[in-house]
Chain A
Amino acid sequence: MAKHHIAATVNGDPVEFLCETEDTLLDVLRDTLNLTGSKEGCASGDCGACSVMLDGRLVCSCLVLGAEMNGKKVETIEGMATGEQLHPLQQQFLKHAALQCGICTPGFLVAAKALLERNTHPSETEVRYWLAGNLCRCTGYDKIVTAVMDTAAAMRKG
């Protein structure tokens, strides 16, 4: 079966790649484009460790086909900091020790960024339900939720 020839944008850069029909966007990011920041925890959309933005929409990249990516815009964890400047969420996660092993952290950061772009003043409940698709087994979620809410407050102050 001939491979699909795909042209897309990843973290603002144009990319071209070949992929099989079976290859998911996560396979392409990790194995073809060597962007290993998105992680595979389950390959069934239940853990959120592979979260990316697809045309401005938060999705699990393990449940999207690479073949669907023609002309699409993908943003991964690798694109979250701009040059030297970390995104406020990245800084607050470090300040609040909102990660331990760190395997779920890329997914949480991408998902939390998507939340704050829609809702600058989320309540604790809104943060927890928005992030319910991101599993974490080390932290018990407390410091993650605190870090997201503190970032929202800091960004509101500008």
Chain B
Amino acid sequence: MPETNGHSNGTNGQHAVGARNIRPDGMDKVTGRARFGADYNLAGQLIGRVLRSPHPHARIVSIDTSKAEALPGVKAVITRDDFPDQSSEFIPAGEMMMNYRDVVRNVMAREKALYEGHAVAAVAATSVAIARRALKLIDVKYEVLPHVIDVVEAMAPNAPLLHDDLFTLGVEPKPEKPSNVAKRIEIKLGDVEAGFGKADIIVDREFKTAPVHQGYIEPHAALATVSEDGTTEVWTTTQGHYIVRAHCARLLGMDIGKVRVTATEIGGGFGGKTVVYLEPLAIALSKKAKRPVKMVMSREEVFKASGPTSGATVRVKMGATKDGKFVAGFAELKYQAGAFQGSPVQPGVFCAYAPYDIENVHVIGYDVVSNRPKVAAYRAPGAPISEYAVESVVDEIAKKLGIDPIQLRMMNAAREGTKAAYGPKFGPIGLEETLNSIKKTEHWNTPLRKWQGRGVASGFWFNIGGETCVSLTVNEDGTVSLMAGTPDIGGLRASLAAVAADELGVPYDKVRPIIGDTGSLGFNFLTGGSRSAFSGSMAIVEAAKLIKADLIARACKLWEAKPDQVEWKDGAVRPLGALAEKVKPMTVVDFAKVAGKTGGPIAGLGRINAQGAGPSFGTHLVDLEVDPETGRVTILRYTVAQDAGKALHPAYVEGQYQGGAVQGIGWALNEEYVYGADGKLQNAGFLDYRMPVASDVPMIDTVLVEVGNPKHPYGVRGVGETPIVPPLGAIANAMEAATGIRFTELPMSPPKVLKALKDKGLNKA
């Protein structure tokens, strides 16, 4: 991969791309000036609050809002009647499939309340206190129904039915009776039974994972104002303001052009802010009250009413020859979708065996509804669960055959040309390089003591491209204004500014990047699928091409030269041959001074549907220690090696590796939704939803592998999602190494660990 891939570098020869630049939006974030969702206010705004169902499953017989509407200070009350019903048509939203009939029902319950916390009504009032009192005056008649939470129970024939019009798709013949199984999907490669016939060793295990939440520290917040002619402005913390605009326009029957959405700074999303919760309510309330309406979720509402990922039951059966060749891989995945269909079981099915070159693969997946908040994407949605199960079985095969776990993975690793279980052959990929990098670390070669264990696991995510629109404008003094349309959560503006600087040959600090609202650029798909740096940088290159072509044309006019007498190189239009004696090269700054005289403002709009997203593979290594008397697990050491293709900004790529690893540590050890028998969530807060704190984890060492992606001008691969895939398997494998017990249920919390140790009489120091 040539370093600049044929792209001109900065005038000073030093590249902005790949350097650890200070992010241009950093100053506001370290001084408290940066404005997140709840920091926006408008004069005369009302406060919006939502009335949520206390029941996990109930028919809504009637809603009487008269007393609430009569309360002084209440300016608007909305219910299901304020949202026209929608047809059931599938559309993408973030990384999940959703249909509008479900979206409108999730935003505001219609026939039934389908989970505790489901929105049933909302009010807008002149103060928080009045809004809270108004909610208590809304009289909702519920007919409470039996509920079901666990995925296996939800699949049982006699389980309480959430939707009496839900018939399992993907099953032949088409079932007549409705069920909680929305969809069955299946992929096949070769003949898995024949494969098992050739196996010397077969391992068949079942795994169970609990629902977990993305855990972003900033609760959802939205501010909306609707004027008499329907012109609507929304400020909201989201991963995709164009998607919010589209959903709100559809749900409220408005022209997309009438709605303008500004993405505020976003306090973390991880896939959970690709869905609309408050925006449609705030717009509907503002429409009725004719005043701006601000709505902010409490932490309890975030846990009860926003979309965590699936809890799941996964069976994995693998066969291998005695020298370690995988000959067959079967898996059956049952994922919770929450109240409406659309769990990430499909990507889970595709990713299960993706890291490995196996001739015979058969994977079945079930998308199952249950009385929980509708599932939303959580970083490589579906993949951590299925790959945890496969990596656990791979580890067991390695130990039973006495083969080094890295060696076993190396023997079976997917390479360029390997046919993925989900069909197409891989291009150049970096799994082997990540395995080799781990093998060479001092961490891999350090001895451990009793009750300590080391685990390794690999992981994969597709990454996507998608519709992206950005703009570059050269200002009068030659500085560059960059506008992107995908919300910047973790350093995107720094990465894009570096690309723009190198493309146009201006210093990095002369580029000012901002995130434009929906009125400023063409359609942008959302920040998700690890796409924003990949697609954004590709679009910046296109925008820069247009500008460079324009500058070449202006130079030709100025110098009365033909195009073949000039070229763009190292940040300037340069005269060639004889012309070089007569004229000096012109940089962007030079053209900016004469822009008016040579045709007007200098700008380029990059408009693409980014194709060629290269998958990113990673391998994680973890050491941990178990206290046999209490079951407590301490993470001693952690190393992440992952293929970034080309790291536009190394520090923020490392940050993705470290953040994903620690989310994985939480998922593996202590995070879970705890439900009572009453179907209600018992730990809807940061006290008892135990996310890792600073003192729980060591430094997370990172190895930046760079196997270039040929389809990207700089070789970039998306990196944001793969880091959360390997930790679950790596930690489970380390637990087996430390205790001799194969833990097949997440989280591996102290009560479960101590019980397993005690059952084997191992709970002594």
B697 touches A (CB below 8 Å): yes
B133 touches A (CB below 8 Å): no
Docked CA distance A40–B655 (Å):
24
Fill in one digit per residue for A25-69: 1 if any B CB lies within 8 Å of its CB, else 0: 000001000011111111110110100000000000000000000
Which of B31, B219, B269, B661 contacts A77 (CB under 8 A)?
B31
B299 and A37 form a contact (CB under 8 A) = no
Instruction: List the one stretch of A2-10, A89-97, A150-158 in contact with chain B.
Output: A89-97
Docked CA distance A154–B45 (Å):
46
A97 and B32 form a contact (CB under 8 A) = no
Chain A residues near B38: list those with CB within 8 A: 30, 36, 39-40
B218 and A44 form a contact (CB under 8 A) = no
A134 and B218 form a contact (CB under 8 A) = no
B299 and A39 form a contact (CB under 8 A) = no
B704 touches A (CB below 8 Å): no
A109 touches B (CB below 8 Å): yes
Docked CA distance A137–B270 (Å):
9
Chain A residues near B23: list those with CB within 8 A: 94, 97
A100 and B267 form a contact (CB under 8 A) = no
Chain B residues near A96: list those with CB within 8 A: 651
Which of B299, B490, B662 contacts A44 (CB under 8 A)?
B299
Chain A residue with Cβ nearest B488:
A101
Fill in one digit per residue for B683-718: 1 if any A CB lies within 8 Å of its CB, else 0: 001110001111111011000000000000000000
Docked CA distance A39–B38 (Å):
9
Chain B residues near A49: list those with CB within 8 A: 217
B752 CB to nearest A CB, Å:
24
Chain B residues near A30: list those with CB within 8 A: 38-39
Chain A residues near B692: list those with CB within 8 A: 141
| Given A36-B39, A94-B27, A140 contacting B686 (CB threshold 8 A) | no
Docked CA distance A141–B687 (Å):
19
Q: Which residues of chain B from 493 to 524 have a CB within 8 Å of any chain A CB?
A: none
B405 touches A (CB below 8 Å): no
Chain B residue with Cβ nearest A127:
B694
A105 CB to nearest B CB, Å:
5
B439 touches A (CB below 8 Å): no
B22 touches A (CB below 8 Å): yes
Chain B residues near A127: list those with CB within 8 A: 694
Chain B residues near A36: list those with CB within 8 A: 32, 35, 38-39
| Given A46-B685, A100-B655, A102-B267, A141 contacting B490 (CB threshold 8 A) | no
Fill in one digit per residue for A80-123: 1 if any B CB lies within 8 Å of its CB, else 0: 11000010001001111101111111100100000000000000
Chain B residues near A86: list those with CB within 8 A: 30-31
7 closest A-B pairs by beta carbon, nearest first, are A37-B32, A103-B267, A102-B29, A140-B662, A97-B651, A140-B658, A77-B32
Fill in one digit per residue for B10-36: 1 if any A CB lies within 8 Å of its CB, else 0: 000000000010110011011111111
A145 CB to nearest B CB, Å:
7
Chain A residues near B700: list those with CB within 8 A: 140, 142
Docked CA distance A63–B660 (Å):
31
A144 touches B (CB below 8 Å): yes
Q: Is the interface of B mostly helix, strand, loop or mixed?
A: loop
B65 touches A (CB below 8 Å): no
Chain B residues near A20: list those with CB within 8 A: 129
Docked CA distance A144–B489 (Å):
17
B694 and A94 form a contact (CB under 8 A) = no
A2 CB to nearest B CB, Å:
15
A128 and B31 form a contact (CB under 8 A) = no
B358 CB to nearest A CB, Å:
32
A74 touches B (CB below 8 Å): no
A143 touches B (CB below 8 Å): yes
Chain A residues near B489: list those with CB within 8 A: 100-101, 138
B266 touches A (CB below 8 Å): yes
Docked CA distance A73–B162 (Å):
55
B720 CB to nearest A CB, Å:
10
B342 touches A (CB below 8 Å): no
B491 touches A (CB below 8 Å): yes
Docked CA distance A47–B660 (Å):
19
Number of interface residues of A (CB under 8 A): 58
B693 and A95 form a contact (CB under 8 A) = no
Chain A residues near B591: list those with CB within 8 A: none
| Given A100-B491, A139-B659, A80 contacting B31 (CB threshold 8 A) | yes
Q: Is the interface of A mostly helix, strand, loop or mixed?
A: loop
A97 and B218 form a contact (CB under 8 A) = no
B66 touches A (CB below 8 Å): no
| Given A81-B31, A96-B651, A101 contacting B695 (CB threshold 8 A) | no
A142 and B298 form a contact (CB under 8 A) = no
A147 CB to nearest B CB, Å:
10
Docked CA distance A47–B299 (Å):
10
B265 and A142 form a contact (CB under 8 A) = no
B663 touches A (CB below 8 Å): yes
Which of A80, A137, A146 contacts B268 (CB under 8 A)?
A137
Docked CA distance A46–B685 (Å):
8
Docked CA distance A78–B299 (Å):
24
A47 and B217 form a contact (CB under 8 A) = yes
Chain A residue with Cβ nearest B266:
A101
22 examples of A-B residue contacts, CB within 8 angstroms: A22-B129, A36-B39, A39-B38, A40-B219, A41-B219, A43-B298, A78-B33, A86-B30, A86-B31, A97-B652, A97-B655, A100-B655, A101-B265, A101-B268, A104-B267, A105-B30, A128-B694, A129-B694, A132-B696, A137-B216, A137-B270, A140-B697
B605 CB to nearest A CB, Å:
28
B299 and A41 form a contact (CB under 8 A) = yes
A42 and B26 form a contact (CB under 8 A) = no
Chain B residue with Cβ nearest A44:
B685
B36 CB to nearest A CB, Å:
6
Chain B residues near A97: list those with CB within 8 A: 20, 23, 491, 649, 651-652, 654-655
Identify which of A93, A99, A104, A146 gathers the most chain B CB atoms within 10 Å of its CB.
A99
B662 and A42 form a contact (CB under 8 A) = no
B355 touches A (CB below 8 Å): no
| Given A94-B23, A94-B26, A106 contacting B694 (CB threshold 8 A) | no
Q: Which residues of chain B from 447 to 488 have a CB within 8 Å of any chain A CB?
A: none
A94 and B30 form a contact (CB under 8 A) = yes
A85 CB to nearest B CB, Å:
12
Docked CA distance A99–B20 (Å):
14
Identify which of A22, A40, A81, A103 gathers the most chain B CB atoms within 10 Å of its CB.
A103
A137 and B30 form a contact (CB under 8 A) = no
Which of A37, A94, A125, A134 contacts B22 (CB under 8 A)?
A94
Docked CA distance A144–B691 (Å):
17
